[in-house]
Copies of this chain bind each other. A is one copy, B any other.
Amino acid sequence: MPARKYSRQREAVKHFLMTRRDHPTADTVYSCLREDFPNISLGTVYRNLSLLAELGEIHRISTGSGAEHFDGNLEPHQHFICSRCHTIYDIRVDQVDTLMDAAQKASPGSIESCHLNFYGLCDQCASKGFNEN
């Protein structure tokens, strides 16, 4: 890994994610940062998102539909993803540490992290009378 230098852009990407309570995609980060950095490029946003994720300073969320989402919230938490509107909600489940201990016993390697996504219809969509399909 090469040495790292300060960059205004990287700082802005991280700061932006930390002040959001939702889970933007790279493209959303790009559009929003453009307001402060009219010349920032999408490539730079992607490069910094990948780097920050690798450093563990942000989290990458794969929902299984379309683009990746990013999360600046480092508190341990999990996600509920609505199968209809694809909104990602934060939820907090306590038993995760116990779960990881149990999983470690059955695991072909040393577990370092765990992504726990719950899927279903969110209450908003349910109240609009949507059913699953």
Contact = CB atoms under 8 A, between A and B. Distances in A.
B60 A64 contact: yes
Interface in A39-90: 54, 60, 62-64, 68, 78, 80, 82-83, 89
B95 A108 contact: no
A95 B92 contact: no
A107 B95 contact: no
A91 B119 contact: no
26 contacts: A1-B133, A54-B133, A64-B68, A80-B103, A80-B107, A80-B109, A82-B109, A83-B112, A93-B102, A94-B102, A95-B98, A95-B99, A96-B99, A99-B116, A100-B118, A103-B118, A107-B118, A107-B120, A109-B120, A109-B123, A109-B126, A112-B119, A113-B120, A115-B115, A115-B116, A116-B117
